[in-house]
Amino acid sequence: MPLNIEAKKEVVKELNSEANNSVAGAIAEFSGLNVKDLTLLRTRARESDIYLKVVKNSLSRRAFAETNFECLVDGLNGPIIIALSKEDLASPARLFKDFGKDYEQLRTVGLSINGAAYPASDLERIAKLPSKDEAYSMLMGLMKAPIEKTVRLLNEVPTKFVRLSNAMKDKQEEVS
């Protein structure tokens, strides 16, 4: 059923709002996927907190105008599904990569992070980026390491002193 002009404006407004609030996005061709497969993709997207939408290309072009995702407009050809993430830079790429392993009909066309476009060939590289929580964990580990080394070093001073005094005591007993 075709959309009337008011419904089209509402779709453009919704997609534009999501694009303005997102940091990463991806577009993929999905021809050949059935309704069951698309429902599974939507479920996985919801679990990863990803906005997923199938929108006509002409409406997507209007919605992406003057946003960070304007760089993806050239890839809007044929049946396209759009994935946007508000926080995790790699989650749209990770979603399409993981889903594409089982469903070859889903082919990533373009990726964007903070306004920079990446070709579909970079899907693997971007999908390997750590999530926000993983990045925080890595950062905390890096910050914690010097403190742990300092504590170990400070602990070695009294330990070596005790060993030295025990060795001197043993030597005195041998001489006596």
For residue 26, what is the domain's CATH number? 3.30.70.1730
The closest of 56, 69, 75 to 9, measured between CA atoms, is 56
* Domain shared by 14 and 94, yes or no: yes
**How much is the pLDDT for 52?**
92
* Domain shared by 98 and 14, yes or no: yes
d(CA 85, CA 5): 28
Q: pLDDT for 36-87, tens place per residue?
A: 999 999 999 999 899 999 988 888 888 888 888 888 888 888 889 999 999 8
* Domain shared by 54 and 84, yes or no: yes
* Domain shared by 31 and 113, yes or no: yes
Average pLDDT of the chain is 87
Backbone phi, psi, residue 26, to 5°: -150, 150
Residue 31 in contact with residue 78, Cβ under 8 Å?
yes
Q: In what order do the strands lie in the sheet with 50-54?
A: 50-54, 80-85, 24-29, 107-113, 116-119
Q: What is the percentage of the chain residues whose pLDDT exceeds 90?
A: 20
How would residue 1 be classed by pLDDT, with cut points 50, 70 and 90?
A: low
* Domain shared by 99 and 80, yes or no: yes
3-class state of residue 48 by DSSP? coil
